[in-house]
Structure 1
Amino acid sequence: MKNALKPFKAALLAMNVLLAAAPLAAHADSANDTLVARGAYLAKAGDCIACHSAPRGKLMAGGLPMMTPLGAIYTTNITPDPDTGIGRYSEEDFARALREGVAKDGHNLYPAMPYPSYAKVNDDDMHALYAYFMHGVTPVRQANREPDMKWPLNMRWPLKLWNAVFLDKGVYKTKPGKDVVWNRGAYLTQGLGHCGACHTPRGIAFQERGLDESSTLYLTGGVLDNWFGSNLTGEHNTGLGRWSEEDLATFLKTGANAHATAFGSMTSVINNSTQAMSDGDITAMARYLKSLPAAGGNGGAPYSYDPKATKVSLARPAPNDAGARVYAAFCMHCHGADGRGFAPMLSPLAGNPNVLEKDASSLINVTLNGTADLVIQGVPAPYPMPKYAPVLNDQQIADVVTFIRAAWNNNTAAVKVEDVAKLRKATEAAR
């Protein structure tokens, strides 16, 4: 009888072991799900989708063209596909790619990938990101496209020298004397947010000329891919000097406020990244950015609105005032005769930091090519900027942008027709 009970006892013991292990397995699954969810949030903060997803392409499968001074490069497949993506990357491989710009096979990535910023991401966040990309992203089998660069410009070994000179290794370190909110904002802005990649001027070797607030050039604005990333310091005219912390938080959440509306590359940042961030993180970024002292700018006196004469000239533009005539025909119905627009739905032009900027690249580009829709919580903005490249010639665009930059006390330099022609040619492939 005792022997007959042995199989039953063994089965009972096995069942008890399984029942005891079940809560542990459930806890492990829950912990893994939480880690993946945290990684998904951090990937949004890093705006990975914007660069690694081509229009009408698969999520994170790459293929988006990016213009550099050396030619076009195409973003890579970062799905967990084992053959064409990063499915065979260890966590160490993954961290090295993000922090040092070195792929698993040892080849160097071009610094269009903002690894000088991602170098500041801490180990816990890197671990969560790895969990997300390995377990939260759908694998896509799509081969990477080679850069459109001719030899010897396509050689990658010089990038090792580039890293040796310009890559500042080491995760973000909390700044003494600054509170938790400021440090969180600095960590996000300098690291995952990689704001400096677009908003800091580049040097002759395509390096950012400042990686944090210790540089007077950091976030003072810079040209990238035919857009001018605006000044994010406290500069009164072209920067954030007239914005409150709440204004900046609203802009990061919705893409528009009383001062300006997102366009160009920033539209993608709002759509895919900052609107999904927590209110606490948005407040932290706004707090950090508003702490930056004024730097850069146009050197002009602090802006103050002056509507004199502009309304009159628009009501009946003089025959020889070509810019006013174009504005009255194509721009006034949205941006107003007084240049104040109908914020936040329609951007003001009077005192707009992008209008006051010395470099008119963004104004020319957005007039030529319009901008993609801002989509906030699934709802597209009702009045996107249309493209005027098919409608207006280079002279007309130069005239109207010059008019805008002079009107309402903007007092900014005229735009040359050659600059419009150059930018039209540079962006025609994207239209």
Structure 2
Amino acid sequence: MRRHCLSLAIGILFASGFNAQAADSPSPQKLIAQGKYLAIAADCGACHTPPNDGAAMSGGYAIQSPLGTIYASNITPSKVAGIGNYSEQDFARAVREGINKQGQYLYPAMPYTSYSRITDQDIHALYAYFMHGVAPVDKPSTPTRLAFPFNIRSSMALWNTLFSRNKPFVPAEDVSAEVNRGNYLVNALEHCDTCHTPRNALMGQDDGKALSGGELGSWYAPNITPDKHSGIGNWSAVELAQYLKTGHLAGKAQAAGPMAEAVEHSTQHLDDSDIQAMVAYLQQIPAIDTGAEKSRDSYGQPANTELALRGNSSAVDPGWQIYSGSCANCHQAQGQGTAYYPSLFHNSATGADNPANLVAAILYGVHRDINGQQLAMPAFGPDGNYSVQLSDRQIADVSNYVLKNFGNPQVSVTADQVKEIRNGGKKPLLARLTSPAVMLTGGVVLILIIILLAFLVNKRRRQHVGK
């Protein structure tokens, strides 16, 4: 990551009137380093740094949402294209409340609902880092242009009233300092709740089911509560720590999609003590049973089907034909994988009751850069980067072969499901209500009614709590 020479940054820091608040305050060097670590913990670079070695924090990364493509903004200290004119108060408001210096509402693809918990001290360090530890880039990022009515950013004020907290984290008195630290990392900086918590009809988090799994466009963020069947209750502390550090746990899971990005850009760089704190917190939250019969990593066993069918001219299973030609070389004939490629049995993607992650991995491939080692699976989708490109029907066929022979045989995939996942996943109610057809038949009125009712219910609940 490119940045200013530290000595230059320190000079700018003092020249800009930055205040050391007390004799025991960290030095400017330490404050910038703290801010950099916090920015890594908050995974800022995953979205705000363009892929393929783009300039750090210069924006332009395309985030696919159910409401359209949202482009991450330039958050370098450029006074032309970034946040160089932001005061610390402006910065805090954007991070915690989702409102930029110009008074425009940000879309919650920027997880300010979680960042609202960030403490004043950490906001201070983050501001020092972004202003004095990141190189300014004067190129504006691609603007976000969503369809009506989501292009009306002021409408986010109502959504924020319903679903945004804006309350900095306060440690609980009845748990250890380690668990409190883990809570802060999981729910504030790492914003795990943003993906792993299900959402309601208006796309607000259902915090009553926190971390029990959530739709994430083409991917699915699974249940990470300590339920032994539905969640990760059968993972040891050592296993969970290894997964957060490497994105891979033989016989259980491997990170792909957004989770691979989180491991690559964030969790692999955390101190071991912070990884342990996250583990300690996750292992003591309420377990939520979402109906799984057994853990998703317990399904499957080696299969001899591929060996039995190879060379058999009468074989007609199209899924086997694709597996034999495109998958067996890496994942092996019996599905056992190698030291580099994961086993397809005892694998949370093939054993889940939701096949989205299996299908998305085939469509989009898998990429992780862990400790300088590139781990990759090619994308086989119609727009993939591999010489073999599979149709929706073919992806459904090979998915069903894998599920039947190595994973959860009770799950099946159709070509229509693959198409839906390829097109960004199941559309939430809010997106369906604002489709052109519904808009022409009074959808806007219906949305306003729903928002008003939700607002009144929320207001009444707050009044009740205040009594």
- Give the TM-score, by structure 1 length: 0.85
Which residue does the alignment assign to 1:406?
A: 404
Q: Decide whether the 8 Å contact of 1:120 with 1:171 is kept in 2.
A: yes
In structure 2, runs of 5+ residues without a counterpart are 1-19, 382-387, 426-467
Is structure 2 residue 47 aligned with structure 1 residue 54?
no
Q: Decide whether the 8 Å contact of 2:347 with 2:407 is kept in 1.
A: no
3-state DSSP class of the match of 1:79?
coil
Q: Residues 294 and 337 (structure 1 numbering): CA distance in 2 closer, same or farther, change over 3 Å?
A: farther
Which residue does the alignment assign to 2:372?
A: 378
2:397 and 2:33 map into 1 onto residues whose CA distance is 50
Which residue does the alignment assign to 2:358?
A: 363
Q: Map of 1:389-428 to 2, 5 A cutoff? A: 389=381, 390-408=388-406, 410-426=408-424
Q: Residues 224 and 409 (structure 1 numbering): CA distance in 2 closer, same or farther, change over 3 Å?
A: closer
Q: Decide whether the 8 Å contact of 1:261 with 1:346 is kept in 2.
A: no
Q: Which has the larger radius of gyration?
A: 1
Q: Map of 1:55-204 to 2, 5 A cutoff? A: 55-56=51-52, 57-204=54-201
Q: Decide whether the 8 Å contact of 1:238 with 1:354 is kept in 2.
A: no
3-state DSSP class of the match of 1:120?
coil
3-state DSSP class of the match of 1:72?
strand
Is structure 2 residue 284 aligned with structure 1 residue 288?
no
Which residue does the alignment assign to 1:349?
A: 344
Q: Residues 238 and 329 (structure 1 numbering): CA distance in 2 closer, same or farther, change over 3 Å?
A: farther
3-state DSSP class of the match of 1:73?
strand
Q: Residues 236 and 349 (structure 1 numbering): CA distance in 2 closer, same or farther, change over 3 Å?
A: farther
Q: Residues 28 and 134 (structure 1 numbering): CA distance in 2 closer, same or farther, change over 3 Å?
A: farther
3-state DSSP class of the match of 2:293?
coil
Is structure 2 residue 207 aligned with structure 1 residue 219?
no
Which residue does the alignment assign to 2:259?
A: 266
Which residue does the alignment assign to 1:19?
A: none
Is structure 2 residue 379 aligned with structure 1 residue 387?
yes
Equivalent of residue 330 in structure 2, options 331, 334, 346: 334
Q: Residues 419 and 302 (structure 1 numbering): CA distance in 2 closer, same or farther, change over 3 Å?
A: closer
Q: Decide whether the 8 Å contact of 1:119 with 1:169 is kept in 2.
A: yes
Which residue does the alignment assign to 2:242?
A: 250
In structure 1, runs of 5+ residues without a counterpart are 1-23
What amino acid sits opposite 1:199 in the alignment? H
Residues 155-213 of structure 1 show CA distances to partners (whole Å, capped at 9, x for unaligned) of: 01111111111111211121232111111111100000001112122222222222xxx
3-state DSSP class of the match of 1:137?
coil
2:131 and 2:139 map into 1 onto residues whose CA distance is 16
Q: Residues 313 and 136 (structure 1 numbering): CA distance in 2 closer, same or farther, change over 3 Å?
A: closer
| Number of aligned positions between the proteins | 392
Q: Map of 1:299-314 to 2, 5 A cutoff? A: 299-302=292-295, 304=298, 307=301, 310-312=303-305, 314=307
Is structure 2 residue 225 aligned with structure 1 residue 233?
yes
- Give the TM-score, by structure 2 length: 0.78
Q: Decide whether the 8 Å contact of 1:237 with 1:351 is kept in 2.
A: no
